Structure 1
Amino acid sequence: MLMSSSDRPAVLHFDHNGFRVISPGYHVICAVSGEPIPLELLRYWSVTRQEAYASPELATKRLLGKG
């Protein structure tokens, strides 16, 4: 069975002003919570760690070493 791009996470390269799609998909996985984040809702990420976060609270938690 073939998977559509909505079934698998995208692979992104995060930059300071945005991100580049390396492998297409509908969502990425939050590095802290593990929840899927639709690409159109993705607003928080770390360029250094190349990770996505579902909310500013989760990004802060990760950056403070609590996640």
Structure 2
Amino acid sequence: MLMSNTDRPARLHYMANGFRVLAPGDHVVCAVSGERIALEDLRYWSVGAQQAYASAEIATRAMSPAH
């Protein structure tokens, strides 16, 4: 029986221009809000922190020096 990737978080390695899937899944979780982000909708992440963010606003806030 084949396992489905539906409703399972993926494990990713974030790089400057993309990401590599380390463990299959259909989403990741925003490091700040906890919101599920479908892999096809993932646009914002931190290479240094290896974290995903749900929006540009959240990513900017998370990476600001005051955070």
Q: TM-score, normalised by structure 2?
A: 0.89
State the Cα RMSD in Å.
Answer: 1.0
Tell me whether 1:21 sits opposite 2:21 in the alignment.
yes
Partner of 1:7: 7
How many residues are matched? 63
TM-score using structure 1 length: 0.89
**Runs of 4+ residues over 4 Å off in structure 1:** none
Identity %: 63
> Any stretches of 5+ residues in structure 1 without a counterpart?
none
Distance 2:48 2:23 in 1: 20
**Structure 2 stretches of 5 or more lacking a match?**
none
Counterpart amino acid of 1:39?
L
